Chains A and B, each alone.
Chain A
Amino acid sequence: MVGLQEGMCPGLDGGLLRSLLAADVKTVEDLVSSDLEEVAQKCSVSYKALYAIRRVLLAQHTAFPVSGADLYDELLSSTAIISTGNPSLDKLLDSGLYTGEVTELSGGPGSGKSQVCFGVAVHVSHQLKQRVIYIDTTGGLTASRLLEMLQSETSDRDEQMEALQRIHVFRLFDAYSLRDRLSTLRSGGLLQASGGGSVKAVIVDSVSAVISPLLGGKQNEGMSLMIQAALALKTMAKDFGVAVLVTNHVTRGGRGEVQPGLGASWSHIPRSRILLERTDRAPSGCSSTLRSATLIKSSRQPCLIKEELDLQWWSRSERRSSGKRKRDEADS
């Protein structure tokens, strides 16, 4: 609700404002939806003046329709696909994270969600040389782990430092600061936060850690905070052309099957959803780093396709992995 204020538009001076308030027209919505002839009579102003004010206020506050052809052209030029760095995950996501969309990664404890987020952050900052905003709500991010992952990509100290500098970390531990931080980022703080560079990925690990304690019970504030944070993420993704990756916990559904948490209202927010699980099979000693990822919601691929991820070798680049395997074989 936007309140009426003096000087909001030409013609809305103090005297007219006072008579409108006296006639119980306090907000822009009231003025726009009221019967102008009646209000003109009550406030003894000319119908023409009120009509002109209404037209200007509508023009200031409405969203304007865009033709489908223009929107499509704009999307073609601004959408990019950010590779996650892991070829199996890319295949699942139809070649990577799309900018302008929210992708969700859900899984139980120890299923590797944070590791996947680290891998994506390291890949975007090192290989793609773009900035990343990482919002950590669980305290699981350590710079030493990021450095370790970078060291397996390159041995040049300067490159490692540069890549670390491109990852901007915000630590928050409650839902209100999350909402406030996202609103600040959305209304222009994105450029400031990244020091002027172009941000291509925003990772929130995890959304459910701060929101789920507020859900349930009879109060609505938790749901409202969740939707506000979700809208801020979506608007940020669309307006700034960034790819948003969020993580979520899991719960059990009615039939005992594993499903992502945060309820039915959150389930409409992400465009694509992936479920991470530990694999049951145990090949010779490497079972701890294998995970299976299932695509449970996508607008581009048939659902329920599975891929296996090995968290140990994130990028699996040909040159590096063959080099490391030879060294391992020589060791063992």
Chain B
Amino acid sequence: MNESGTQLLARLEARRCLKDIEPRLFAEDEGPRHGEVVELCGAEGTGKTELLYHLLCRCVLPEAAGGLEVDALFVDTDYSLDMLRLVSILDSRLSSAGLEEAALRSSLSRLLVVHCSSSSQLLLTLHYLETTLNSRPSLALLLIDSISAFYWLDRCEGGASISRQEEKLSKCAELLGRLLRDYKFTIFATCHTIRRSCSGLAASRSSTLEADRPYLCRPWQRLVTHRVLCSRQEAENHTAGGSREEKRQVFRVHCSSSSSRTKASRISSFCVTDAGVQFI
């Protein structure tokens, strides 16, 4: 395969390592390194998208506001990107660091957004991604929200054979694996749960485990090195600045890293404010 000089440089030059993207989320020194994939799973309303916005803001903000100043590509498969919410989080973080309007524009220009409406289009877009990676050496993060959006459509299209059902997502996963090896960026992907965990009196641990069990195809599961399980805790009472007591929704994340080095896990909690995710 022949490649030009710029392509060679873009491939070999190390992209920014995102190990320190969120030390409160990952276990000690277990942040995602080059070529690793983090999967955020959880039911609806457990804060996955908010966490994604938090990580995205951390990447694109300038260093003066506590960011890493790297480019990021957001692949939106189910039209769930709320730009207005993202901009309000960026705005509040920039204003607390004392920077003005121009910094917001430059942060937003580091973000690229792509909408995909089917898994075939996702596959073709990932092929096109190679061109984007060549032309932007500072692109260090790929966010996919969500990788499970076409799960039921693929299953129905594939008919009775499971291999045909999983064919498209397997091809996407294999392609992503090759791109990760060649270009060494990091991927964060959300995956929705498809089964409700019944949390009644008769519920045992096994039913919650079943709800969180990975259900996507094997090539994707092999690619995932860190798995973050999000869940919602009971809203607790919390005294705000004055004496008024208000209920605050607390979210719990359990992050388990299973890369080749070690197996580690960590549990942390956060709540969502106007300025985004705040770890407790």
Partner-B contacts on A (CB < 8 A): 1-2, 28-29, 32-33, 58, 61-69, 71-72, 75, 79, 220-221, 223-224, 226-228, 231, 234-235, 237-238, 253-256, 263-265, 267-269, 271, 296-297, 299-300, 302-304
Given contacts A28-B120, A63-B125, A268-B78, 9 further A-B contacts (CB under 8 A): A29-B168, A29-B171, A62-B128, A63-B115, A65-B112, A65-B113, A265-B194, A271-B82, A299-B82
In the assembled complex, the Cα of A14 lies from the Cα of B58 at a distance in Å of: 52
Chain A residues with CB under 8 A of B49: 299
With beta carbons under 8 angstroms apart, the residue of A2, A28, A254 that contacts B198 is A254
Chain A residues with CB under 8 A of B112: 65-68
In the assembled complex, the Cα of A314 lies from the Cα of B244 at a distance in Å of: 32
* B83 and A75 form a contact (CB under 8 A): yes
Identify the closest chain A residue to B193 (Cβ): A264
* A62 and B132 form a contact (CB under 8 A): no
* A2 and B156 form a contact (CB under 8 A): no
Tell yes or no: B44 within 8 A of A by CB. yes
With beta carbons under 8 angstroms apart, the residue of A32, A67, A234, A255 that contacts B200 is A255
In the assembled complex, the Cα of A235 lies from the Cα of B79 at a distance in Å of: 8
Chain A residues with CB under 8 A of B23: none
Q: With A63-B121, A68-B108 given, is the CB distance from A253 to B196 under 8 Å?
A: yes
* A66 and B45 form a contact (CB under 8 A): no
Q: How many A-B residue pairs have CB under 8 A?
A: 145
Chain B residues with CB under 8 A of A72: 83, 87, 108
* B114 and A66 form a contact (CB under 8 A): yes
Chain B residues with CB under 8 A of A71: 83, 113
Chain A residues with CB under 8 A of B110: 68
- Judged by DSSP, the binding face of B is mixed
Chain B residues with CB under 8 A of A268: 44, 78, 80, 146, 192
In the assembled complex, the Cα of A36 lies from the Cα of B198 at a distance in Å of: 50
Chain A residues with CB under 8 A of B194: 263-265
Interface range on chain B (Cβ under 8 Å from partner): 35 or more
Q: Which of B162-197 contact A (CB under 8 A)?
A: 168, 171, 175, 192-197
Q: With A228-B153, A302-B249, A303-B249 given, is the CB distance from A58 to B109 under 8 Å?
A: no
With beta carbons under 8 angstroms apart, the residue of B107, B123, B153 that contacts A29 is B123
Identify the closest chain A residue to B109 (Cβ): A69
Tell yes or no: B105 within 8 A of A by CB. yes
Chain A residues with CB under 8 A of B83: 68, 71-72, 75
Q: With A234-B79, A299-B85, A302-B249 given, is the CB distance from A33 to B127 under 8 Å?
A: yes
Chain A residues with CB under 8 A of B14: none
- Mask, B242-278, CB within 8 Å of A = 1, is 0000011100000000000000000000000000000
* A62 and B125 form a contact (CB under 8 A): yes
Tell yes or no: B199 within 8 A of A by CB. yes
With beta carbons under 8 angstroms apart, the residue of B117, B127, B152, B203 that contacts A223 is B152
With beta carbons under 8 angstroms apart, the residue of B82, B87, B155 that contacts A224 is B155
Q: With A68-B112, A254-B199, A297-B45 given, is the CB distance from A62 to B156 under 8 Å?
A: no
With beta carbons under 8 angstroms apart, the residue of B80, B117, B156 that contacts A235 is B117
* B44 and A64 form a contact (CB under 8 A): no
Nearest first, the 8 A-B pairs at minimum CB distance are: A68-B111, A254-B200, A224-B156, A254-B198, A267-B44, A68-B108, A69-B108, A65-B112
Identify the closest chain A residue to B84 (Cβ): A75
With beta carbons under 8 angstroms apart, the residue of B107, B117, B155, B193 that contacts A231 is B117
Q: Which of B83-124 contact A (CB under 8 A)?
A: 83-85, 87, 105, 107-117, 120-121, 123-124
Q: Of B79, B111, B125, B171, which is in contact with the most chain A CB atoms at under 10 Å from its CB?
A: B79
With beta carbons under 8 angstroms apart, the residue of A2, A58, A75 that contacts B127 is A58
Chain B residues with CB under 8 A of A226: 152
Q: With A68-B110, A71-B113 given, is the CB distance from A223 to B45 under 8 Å?
A: no
* A223 and B113 form a contact (CB under 8 A): no
Tell yes or no: B147 within 8 A of A by CB. no
In the assembled complex, the Cα of A223 lies from the Cα of B152 at a distance in Å of: 6
In the assembled complex, the Cα of A31 lies from the Cα of B83 at a distance in Å of: 35
- 17 A-B pairs whose Cβ atoms sit less than 8 Å apart in the complex: A28-B124, A29-B171, A58-B124, A65-B73, A65-B114, A66-B114, A68-B110, A72-B83, A79-B84, A237-B79, A264-B43, A264-B194, A267-B44, A268-B146, A269-B78, A271-B80, A296-B45
